[in-house]
């Protein structure tokens, strides 16, 4: 079922979450067993992230550096199939512009359609850690709005090489990302909303937000999105803080603010266990307010670790 159909049928706020593919060498069964407790809350869909190919530089005896391709995480397509087969829920794979050509994107969509996936989340993706800015692949997309266009064209039976491809129409429901505190590359919130509207105008049917810790920023974001003429569902993204390191890492990495009231409590923490307790309590409070306000679903960024999300969901759902 499409995400938009799940949301339209629901008479209450839904529960959903995102997982990371396991690192190379780790077992898929470990991943599935790890998230199984979250099935108690009947998620209608589970997101599976995608990771671009990464490189290492190998130094030879002559001093020359060779760039060697390495793939750190197994394929998202297979994980989606496993989740759908094991738990009978919809899997939502992420598709990226970065690191992929249009042909590779088309092939991924063909594979996803083949195994029965009906939803995708279209993202630009970040620059590799070794590069300072995002650079698209040759014959790849520069923006998520372009990726949305390609997916929608396939929904109309239009492939990259129409003279050789069949005119089979896919039927993907396309989601995109939204940023309550503005994407860090956007010059202003006004322009960020302009880019978001372009994605929706190109065919995106729902929005999932980046994590935030201040509900007021989500509510203002929804207000501004509606004022910009965007009327698709907006799903809030939730992540509880769980380690001391995240107190500085999350604002630096995701360009977001931690509310003063949350920081007042985190400053008292002496261990990761203390932080986890504060993070869960804060997220529970966030989630209860979002449910009361009628959020369509609460979407948890679990990093494939179920414990904190389970504790929160137990108090909310």
Counting Cβ atoms within 10 Å, is residue 27 exposed (0-12), middle (13-18) or buried (19+)?
A: exposed
Q: In Å, what is the CA distance from 205 to each residue of 82, 139, 201?
A: 25, 26, 9
183: left (phi over 0), alpha (psi -120 to 50) or beta: beta
Pairing of strands 45-48, 14-19: parallel
Question: Beta-carbon neighbour count of residue 269 at 10 Å?
Answer: 18
From the candidates 18, 106, 137, 205, which is the catalytic residue? 18
Residue 138 falls in the annotated catalytic set: no
- Give me the numbers of helices (H) and strands (E) for the chain, helices first please: 11, 10
272: which residues sit within 8 A by CB, 6+ positions away? 242, 243, 244
Where in the sequence numbering do the catalytic residues fall? Answer: 18
């Amino acid at each position: 079922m499409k995400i938009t159909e799940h949301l339209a049928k629901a008479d209450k706020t839904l529960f959903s979450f995102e997982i990371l593919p396991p690192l190379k060498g780790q077992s898929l069964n470990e991943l599935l067993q790890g998230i199984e407790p979250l099935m108690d809350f009947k998620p209608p869909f589970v997101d599976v992230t995608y990771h671009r190919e990464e490189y290492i530089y190998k130094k030879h005896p002559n001093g020359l550096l060779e760039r060697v391709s390495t793939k750190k995480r197994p394929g998202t397509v297979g994980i989606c199939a496993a989740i759908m087969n094991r738990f009978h829920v919809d899997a939502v794979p992420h598709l990226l512009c970065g690191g992929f050509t249009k042909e590779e994107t088309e092939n991924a969509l063909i594979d996803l359609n083949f195994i029965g996936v009906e939803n995708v989340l279209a993202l630009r993706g970040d620059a590799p850690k070794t590069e300072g800015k995002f650079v698209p692949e040759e014959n790849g997309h520069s923006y998520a709005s372009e990726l949305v266009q390609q997916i929608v064209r396939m929904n109309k039976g239009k492939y990259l090489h129409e003279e050789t491809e069949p005119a089979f129409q896919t039927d993907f429901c396309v989601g995109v990302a939204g940023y309550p505190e503005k994407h860090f590359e956007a010059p202003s919130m006004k322009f960020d909303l302009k880019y978001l509207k372009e994605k929706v105008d190109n065919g995106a049917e729902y929005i999932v937000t980046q994590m935030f810790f201040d509900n007021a920023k989500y509510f203002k974001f929804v207000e501004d999105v509606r004022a910009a003429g965007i009327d698709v569902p907006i799903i809030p993204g939730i992540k509880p803080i769980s380690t001391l390191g995240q107190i500085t890492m999350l604002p630096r990495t995701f360009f977001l603010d931690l509310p003063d009231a949350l920081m007042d409590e985190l400053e008292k923490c002496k261990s990761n266990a203390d932080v986890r307790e504060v993070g869960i309590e804060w997220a529970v409070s966030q989630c209860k307010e979002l449910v009361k306000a009628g959020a369509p679903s609460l979407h948890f960024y679990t990093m494939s670790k179920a414990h904190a999300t389970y504790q929160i969901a137990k108090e909310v759902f």
